[in-house]
Structures are given as C-alpha cells and as structure tokens.
Amino acid sequence: MVGPSDIKSHALSLGFDRCGIAPVGPFPELAFFDQWLRRGYAGTMSYLGRSASKRRDLRVAEPDARSVIVTATVYNTDRPHAVDTGDPTRAVISRYAWGDDYHVIVRQRLDALAEWLHRASRGPVYTRAYVDTGPIQERVFAQYAGIGWIGKNSCLIDPELGSWLFLGCLITDLDLPADAPGTDQCGECTACLSACPTSAIVAPATIDATRCISYLTIELKKAPAVELRPSMGALVYGCDICQDVCPWNRRAAISDAPEWLPRDGIDDRDLAWWWRLSDDEMASLIEGTPMTRAGVVLLRRNLAIAIGNAAGTLSCDVFDQAGHLPRDSVRDPVVAECVAWARERMGGTNGAPAHRRTAAP
C-alpha cells in the first residue's frame, strides 16, 4: 500500500519543492468565495461564478475524492525584483511569466506523479490533476496540506520557501492521512496592503481583483479605468508588488531550473524596445510563456499605458519612430484609445512634454 511519505518523496524526485496532503473538506474559508463574488471582486472573470458551487465544496465536482495531493514549485530566480529597479522606462513583467508556461510544466509533473501512483498502488486509483484549470481553490487546499498559510496578500506563503510558488493539485480517491494545516504567520505586518498601488487588497486576504494590476493587465479585455492607469506604472504583464514587499520573501528560495529563467532577457527590456517589436516578433517572443494569456493586443495596450506613465522621461517619439514592421494591434480600438491617452499625458503628438511644448517658439 502506497503511503504519504512515498508520495511526497516521489513528488520531490519529479521536481516539486513541496508536497502535502489535504482532506477534501469542508473548509470554513471556502464560504468566503460567495461573498467575494457578490461584492463584484471577480470583475469579468465570469468562469469563477459559473463554477461557484464546485469551488465552495470540492465534493460537488468530485464525489469520489478522498484526498488532495498538493504540490508547490518554486519559480523565483536570482534576478532583481521589480521594486528594486525604480526605472520608469523598464518594462516590468511578473516573475511567474518569464519562462515556460507553468500550466504545462506543472501539469506534466502532476501527470507523472499520477502515473506513478497508479503503478505503485497496484489497483485502480482515481486521479485528476489541476493547475489553475479546475474548480478548486488551490491556496485553501495548499494551506490544509500544511504547505504554508494564506497571507494578507492572499498568496500562499511557505515559511521556508516564501510565496513565489506555483501550486498544483492531484485529486484522488485514496484515503490518505492529511497533514496538519499551515498556521498564519503574517502577524501585525501590513506591508502588502500599504504597497499595493491601486489599493486592491481591501482587507487581509481579500483582493478586489477589479483593482489588482494583475487582473488589469491580463484578464481585463477592455481599457482599464483612467483613474487606475497612473498606478499601473511600468507594469506590462501581471504584478508582483504585494509579494516583493513581503518580509517572508526576503530569504525566499531561488530556483535555477532553466524553465523559469527569463527568456531572451524578457525581464530586462525597456518599454521602447517592446513597442518597436512587430506583432509577429512579439507573438514569437511570448510563445510558450504564460504571457500568451494576454496576447499581443493586450500587451500592446499595457505597453501604451506604461509608456504614458513614463511621461517626462519618454516622449511620443516612442510611438512615432516605431519602425516599419506591421503592428496591426495598434489599430485595435482599445489599444488606440490607450495610445491617445498616453500621447495626451506626454503632451500631444509632436513628442514633447506639454510644459516644454507651450514654452517653445
């Protein structure tokens, strides 16, 4: 009979950094999900509402499930953090998006774990793997699998590894002994609440996604509200600020796995460099990374806002001297509106900031 320690050691041998076992519930934290939806915090992520009955109780979706094997994978690399650079012209992309798409990599490892479990159990075993993709609140299960606790920034924090973790769940009908749940160690700290530029962390462990820069740059398909744009700074894909400032990440684990390393210096390019890319060049640069979720049009939109936010340092020349390669995405109405907004901030169409333009002859 396969036991939890065999499962955990096999998980580590497959490249996971942590593995724990959670019961299937019920968990009091899941009741919060409906409240969160009712407050409108999901914004346009309507798939969350559609699967609410399953998310609030895993046993609705998975009546035969008896245990959830939860994995965590460190994706942090030895590269500077967004908050440390302070350069408004450098495009900031979330660390999680620099390398290969975690949905693929973590899923492959979960599938390998499931395959091993089938072989090791010497009998029929039900398994189902999820990485972000299923109606399951992965952070809650990670907490009940003893991997860590849900912090005030709502991220799962492992006391030794930090929070730069991808979570994955393998649901099974094996009745495995569960680990002791992780305990809250945020204490009095409110660094994440204070640092969030859009005040999206409205209360501890409560994110109004409609204000979260991660949502605004990845999930929202329209143009972000004008009043939120200045707070988006140079963030062009996702946001790490609430994790960058977390004291538990000061000594966060670092992975040297090639799959999470930035591709083609993707973490260290300036906004003008990104803007000059043709649509095809941009598409091939982001291929296979999580950034395909936004795609070229939304990235172009985010770049336009970030360029506008660098007014005073960058001028409209960035838009006007973009080169000859096709940029059909610029004609998209949402992108066009954000470019117009950025030009306005930079002082019109001739490239000079407004105060200088009026002073010139």
Choices 3-11, 149-157, 293-301, 331-339; region in contact with ligand B12 by CB under 6 A: 149-157
How far is Cα of residue 165 from the mean position of the Cα atoms in its chain?
10
The answer to whether residue 273 forms part of the interface with ligand B12 (CB under 6 A) is: no
The answer to whether residue 240 forms part of the interface with ligand B12 (CB under 6 A) is: yes
The answer to whether residue 166 forms part of the interface with ligand B12 (CB under 6 A) is: yes
Residue 333: CB atoms within 10 A of its CB come to 9
Between vectors from CA 99 to CA 299 and to CA 272, what angle results, nearest 5°? 35
CB of 88 to ligand B12, least distance (A): 19
**CB nearer to ligand B12: pick between 88 and 238:** 238
Footprint of ligand B12 on 65-94 (CB under 6 A): 94
Determine which residue in the list 214, 255, 315, 329 makes contact with ligand B12, applying CB under 6 A.
Answer: 214
**CB nearer to ligand B12: pick between 32 and 126:** 32
3-state secondary structure of 70: strand
- What is the DSSP annotation of 92-106? EE-GGGSSS-HHHHH
For residue 138, which of 239, 69, 59 has the smallest C-alpha distance?
69
**CB nearer to ligand B12: pick between 231 and 278:** 231
Determine which residue in the list 16, 96, 260, 319 makes contact with ligand B12, applying CB under 6 A.
Answer: 96
Q: How far is CA 25 from CA 54, 195, 275, in A?
A: 12, 33, 48
- Catalytic residue, candidates 132, 184, 244, 268: 132
Choices 155-163, 254-262, 271-279, 331-339; region in contact with ligand B12 by CB under 6 A: 155-163
Choices 9-17, 154-162, 278-286, 298-306; region in contact with ligand B12 by CB under 6 A: 154-162
CB of 119 to ligand B12, least distance (A): 26
HEC per residue, 278-311: CHHHHHHHHCCCHHHHCHHHHHHHHHHHHHHHCE
CB of 142 to ligand B12, least distance (A): 7
How many residues form the binding site for ligand B12 (CB under 6 A)? 39
Active site residue 132: yes
**CB nearer to ligand B12: pick between 241 and 296:** 241
Give the type of residue at 215: Y
The answer to whether residue 219 forms part of the interface with ligand B12 (CB under 6 A) is: yes
Footprint of ligand B12 on 13-32 (CB under 6 A): 29-30, 32
Contact 219, 140 (CB under 8 A): no
The answer to whether residue 132 forms part of the interface with ligand B12 (CB under 6 A) is: yes
Phi first, then psi: give them for residue 307, nearest 5 degrees. -65, -40
The answer to whether residue 260 forms part of the interface with ligand B12 (CB under 6 A) is: no
d(CA 24, CA 11): 20
| Contacts made by residues 274-281, CB under 8 angstroms, sequence distance 24+ | 274/91, 274/236, 274/299, 274/303, 275/300, 275/303, 275/307, 275/318, 275/319, 275/322, 276/322, 276/323, 277/325, 278/323, 278/325, 278/326, 278/327, 279/326, 279/327, 279/328, 279/329, 280/325, 280/326, 281/325
The answer to whether residue 238 forms part of the interface with ligand B12 (CB under 6 A) is: yes
For residue 259, which of 83, 107, 33 has the smallest C-alpha distance?
107
CB of 21 to ligand B12, least distance (A): 17
CB of 176 to ligand B12, least distance (A): 21
CB of 314 to ligand B12, least distance (A): 24
Cis peptide bond prior to 258, omega within 30° of 0: no
What residues make contact with ligand B12 under the rule CB under 6 A? Answer: 29-30, 32-33, 36, 45, 48, 94, 96, 131-132, 136-140, 150, 153-156, 163, 165-167, 204-207, 209, 212, 214-215, 218-219, 238-240, 242
Active site residues: 132
